[in-house]
Amino acid sequence: MPVANPCGGRDWLTLPSGLIEVGGDTPEYSPGSLQYEQMLQTWANFGRLLEREASRIGVPVSWLLSVATMETGRWSDDKREQATIMSPVGAIGVMQIMPRTAVGFHRDPEQMTDPNENIAVGAELIASLSNRLGPELPAISAAYNSGRVCDTSPCTKCNEWNLYADANYPGKVIRWNNAAILYGLPAPPLQAGVAFLGAGLAAAGVAVAWRMLR
């Protein structure tokens, strides 16, 4: 039976494979679509780090990849740009980590332009949300995006899930998760020097303008 959406919106069912079924279907971004290519590029940029942190923390790598793609994978295919992007509210890097979140996970906010540090915090945050909310990616992704799960009345961020998240954020994350599982992922490339590190960039005061559409 589908999981009863705690927010009263559309229900979903997480299958043993990790696929998320909605209304009897498994929505996904198909190969050849722009969204699928954005996911593959994020994987090419950071796949080994995503795999490492998923294994370390014990969460599905498809969750990390889906959130990373949603957060910054649509911004640029340039690895440095994706790793150093900063939002108008101060969220930083691949997984868009807020400075206070970095501190909460005992990391230096100035290191959040280092994808090693950034993805580690993102993975730990997702694991923490899973422990608190249950292993349901739609609810986890809403909380990751907004800090909250359910929308309130009057509805301020309405979507089909009644989850408190921007622009149907959970639905897009579901599609990337399902695509990663359905079509598989290539072996991530070796990434020598992947910690090209933003410490120097941050010290130089680099702040990339936020243009990513939600």
CATH 3.30.200 fits 31-137+168-203, yes or no: no
Q: Find residue 85's DSSP bridge partners.
A: 208
At 78, the amino acid letter reads D
Residue 77: its pLDDT value, please? 84
φ, ψ at 22 (rounded to 5°): -130, 115
Mean predicted confidence (pLDDT) in 122-134: 96
Helices then strands, each counted (H, E), the chain: 8, 2
| CB contact at 8 A, 71 and 42 | no
Residue 157: its pLDDT value, please? 78
Task: Give the integer Cα–Cα distance in Å for 125 and 131.
Answer: 10
Task: Give the integer Cα–Cα distance in Å for 167 and 172.
Answer: 9
pLDDT at 200 over 60: no
Residue 209: its pLDDT value, please? 34
Residue 1: its pLDDT value, please? 63
* All structural domains of the chain with their residue ranges: 31-137+168-203
Query: Which SS3 state, helix, strand or coil, does residue 213 take?
Result: coil
At 34, the amino acid letter reads L
Residue 191: its pLDDT value, please? 58
Task: Give the integer Cα–Cα distance in Å for 163 and 148.
Answer: 8
158: number of Cβ within 10 Å: 13
User: For 4-34, what is each residue's pLDDT tens digit?
Assistant: 788 988 899 999 999 999 989 999 999 999 9
Query: Which SS3 state, helix, strand or coil, does residue 10 take?
Result: coil
Percent of the chain with pLDDT over 70: 88
Q: Residue for token digits 């694991």? A: 127
Dihedral Cα 51, 176, 40, 208, nearest 10 deg: -90
| Strands annotated E in the chain | 13-14, 20-21
